[in-house]
Amino acid sequence: MTDRLTIALAQMSQRVGDLEGNAAAMLAMRERAAGADLLLCPELQLTGYPPEDLVLKPEFVRRTMEAAERLVDATASPGPAMLIGTIIHEGGANYNAVLLADGGKVAGRTLKRELPNYGTFDEKRIFAHGPMPEPIEFRGVRIGVPICEDIWQEPVCAHLAEAGAEMLLVPNGSPYELDKDDLRQRMVRSRSAIAGLPLAYLNRVGGQDEIVFDGSSFVIHPDGELVVQMCDWEEQLLLTQWERGGDGEGGGWRCRTRAEHKLDPFPEDVYRAMVVALRDYVTDNGFPGVILGLSGGIDSALSAAVAVDALGPGKVWGVMLPSRYTSQESLEDARECARLLGCRHDVVPIVPAVAALDSMLPDLAGQAAENVQARLRMVTLMALSNAHGHMLLTTGNKSEMSVGYATLYGDMAGGYSVLKDAYKTTVFALSRWRNRVKPEGVLGPAGPVMPARVISKPPSAELRPGQKDEDSLPPYSLLDRILERLVDKEMSVKEVALATGAEIALVADIETRLLRAEYKRRQAPPGVKIGSRNFGRDRRYPITNFFHTRPR
């Protein structure tokens, strides 16, 4: 039995399905952790998280288990033992598992008991529930290894404490959401206190399609003391020193390492989520860069700023596509945005294409004629995308997507959207903040990234003379308060009206628009999730739907 352990916490990124790459990254971390007794990696580090229906492919599971065997074999060489997140196929079922690999052998294992099946999670579809886990013995120390959701429910930690666990090491794949840092720490403090055990919470980092992982790993003692706070958004390896306490500490284990990192506050956390998600999506899918319509408005300006910060100005191409309704002010603002960001800027008027469509369809008028402009812009941008390989970045925000204030096969078209889960008021907050602050580690310039006028002028699609968004919508300050309650909190029309002070008729109209626009959202590109109820992964409504909550 030992009274001291050095536990290396490896906050790592992953690539889903890249078994060889993920295994190599773990072995590289093991080399860096020389001198440690044990290396803890995040949940399903070998496969990447979430693997989704890859788990239903037998060949994927077979190769995963082979890769895990090779990792176990690698621990025969000098270096720390490893807690490896992987898949185990046994008895005809697949399990989300952690193996303790030590000295070239599997010295212990735990199978995930609690499978999340809400929001972005769908693990009951692909994994079987493991049995109630028992502590794993390592160097004479009984270690509990609950896996992610196992600590969000009470029974697993309580069982491990009753079974004699002396500490809890928790590998996680916990996506970023607004205010989630506080939620995690409150929950972990509760589990640690009830179990009477110190707890190390290790999370992954990086983007995976629509979700992004912020890391923010930490260690808490059962008295609630936060002794280690690792960084957010970046990989980090931290060697933590643990000792069995003296009589005054109840004889239990304590983490002697102290490390403090200040986590990003709002709105910086949202902005960093967008940057990381876009960077990994574009890079991992092999695009040379992004192209976007740079209209002179705030949505495209912010999208361009995120893209430059994520990828660098040389990989971002802004194209202004003026129609006869585009103002001189917008032309100037688009050009100035590109200059401030240092990215490429071209102007391709769509006037000749609109004239061609007018001659083909002379009777088009009203909204149909307006939407032709948005769709011709999409055709132009996609042509450039096809010719040069850049991914088309869509610039619509959550407020517009909620009420259908967007053109299907027009401004909705593209490969990814960083603003998909950001309400318009959040777009304003992010733009003001980024004009004042350059986040650490981004590739864009310091100083303002868009003209102040872009933020202050009334939003407009400029599809007809003098058009303003508020001709068709309530002020965004009110619209977003209504939408937050209809979408994120699933409140009824009456409840929203009472909470916001808005007229019931207005709220009912917004709800109707929200439900009618479901068919559009089903055809929208993926985009980074930042809130608790994003469209697509979290909120899954039927397209054909006759239920409304307006008063009868």
My answer on whether 242 and 301 are in the same domain is no
Both 464 and 336 in one domain: the answer is yes
The pLDDT of 446-464, averaged and rounded, is: 89
**138 and 242 within one domain:** yes
Q: How far apart (Å, rounded) are the C-alpha atoms in residues 438 and 447?
A: 7
pLDDT category of residue 472 using cuts at 50, 70 and 90: confident
- Are 24 and 168 in the same domain? yes
Q: Which of 41, 114, 123, 148 is catalytic?
A: 148
Domain termination residue (choose one: 445, 470, 495): 470
Q: Provide the sign of the torsion angle of the four alpha carbons 209, 211, 212, 218, taken in this order.
A: negative
Q: Which residues lie below 8 Å from residue 345, measured CB to CB, with a gap of 6+?
A: 294, 318, 319, 320, 334, 335, 338, 339
526 lies in some domain:
no
Q: Tell me, what's the pLDDT at 8?
A: 98
Would 214 be classed as within a structural domain?
yes
**Which amino acid, residue 528?**
V
Is residue 184 over pLDDT 70? yes
- When computed from its CA atoms, the radius of gyration of the chain, rounded to whole angstroms, is 26
Whether 552 is in a domain gets the answer no
Instruction: Let me know if 112 is a catalytic residue.
Output: yes
Query: Over the stretch 83-142, which tens digit does the pLDDT of each residue have?
Result: 999 999 999 999 999 999 999 999 999 999 999 998 889 999 999 999 999 999 999 999
Identify whether the C-beta of residue 41 lies closer than 8 Å to the C-beta of residue 29.
yes
Candidate ranges 116-120, 232-236, 458-462; pick with highest mean pLDDT = 232-236
CATH code of the domain covering residue 83? 3.60.110.10
Q: Give the domain-ending residue among 470, 505, 539.
A: 470
The pLDDT score that the predictor gives to residue 85 is 98
Is 247 in the same domain as 303? Answer: no
- Residue 347 is classified by DSSP as E
The total of other beta-carbon atoms located within 10 Å of residue 362's CB is 8
Tens-digit pLDDT profile for residues 291-322? 999 999 999 999 999 999 999 999 999 999 99
Q: Report H helices in 293-410.
A: 298-311, 328-341, 351-360, 366-388, 398-403
Same domain, 251 and 285: no
Q: Is residue 406 part of a domain?
A: yes
Is the same domain home to 203 and 57? yes
458 within some domain: yes
CA 533/CA 346 separation, integer angstroms? 36
Evaluate whether residue 493 is within a structural domain: no
Q: Which of 41, 43, 370, 400 is catalytic?
A: 43
What is the pLDDT, as a whole number, of residue 120?
85
Q: What's the number of domains the chain is made of? A: 2
Query: Do 204 and 95 reside in the same domain of the chain?
Result: yes
pTM here is: 0.95
Q: Strand ranges (DSSP E) for 64-165?
A: 81-90, 93-102, 105-111, 136-138, 141-144
Q: List, for residues 72-89, the tens digit of each pLDDT value.
A: 999 999 999 999 999 999
Q: What is the pLDDT of residues 515-530, one digit of tens each?
A: 999 999 999 999 999 9
- 91, amino acid identity: G
Report the C-alpha gap between 282 and 302 in whole angstroms. Answer: 17
H or E segment and range at residue 25: helix 19-32
Q: Which entry of 112, 398, 420, 424 is annotated as an active-site residue?
A: 112
- Check residue 483 and give left, alpha or beta (phi > 0: left; psi -120 to 50: alpha): alpha
One DSSP character per residue, 418-445 reads TTTT--HHHHHHHHHHHHH-PPTT-SS-
Residue 243, CA atoms < 13 Å, CB-side half-sphere:
6
Q: Report how far Cα 524 is from the mean position of its chain's Cα atoms.
A: 17
For tokens 């989520």, what's the residue?
273
Do 230 and 294 lie in one domain? The reply is no
pLDDT digits (tens, 9 = 90+) for 390-435: 999 999 999 999 999 999 999 999 999 999 999 999 999 999 999 9
Q: Which residue has the higher pLDDT, 506 or 469?
A: 506
The count of other CB atoms within 10 Å of the CB of residue 545 is 10
Based on the residue annotation, tell me whether 148 is a catalytic residue of this protein. Answer: yes
Residue that finishes a domain, picked among 255, 281, 304: 255
Closest CA to 502 of 478, 484, 537, 529: 478
Asked if residue 244 and residue 348 are part of one domain, the reply reads no
Please state the length of the chain.
552
Q: In the chain, count of helices (H) and strands (E)? A: 17, 20
pLDDT of residue 204: 98
Q: Could you tell me the CATH number of the domain that includes residue 280? A: 3.40.50.620
Q: How many CB atoms lie within 10 A of CB 247?
A: 6
pLDDT higher than 70, residue 4:
yes
Asked if omega into 50 is within 30° of 0 (cis), the reply is: yes
Residue ranges of the alpha helices (H) in 124-267? 149-152, 154-162, 180-195
Q: Quote the DSSP letter at residue 316.
A: E
Can you state the angle between helices 351-360 and 366-388, rounded to 10 degrees? Answer: 130
Q: Tell whether 386 is covered by a domain.
A: yes
- DSSP string computed for 155-184: HHHHHHHHTT-SEEEEE---B--TTHHHHH
Q: Is the pLDDT of residue 224 over 70?
A: yes
Do 153 and 290 share a domain, yes or no?
no
- Structural domain including 151 reads 4-255
- Give the model's pLDDT for residue 463: 73
Could you tell me the CA-to-CA distances from 203 to 11, 12, 135, 171, 425 in Å, in that order?
6, 8, 21, 6, 30
Dist. CA 224–CA 23, nearest whole Å: 34
For residue 244, being part of any structural domain is answered with yes
Would you call 518 a catalytic residue per the annotation? no
Give the per-residue pLDDT at 249: 59
- Does 273 share its domain with 251? no
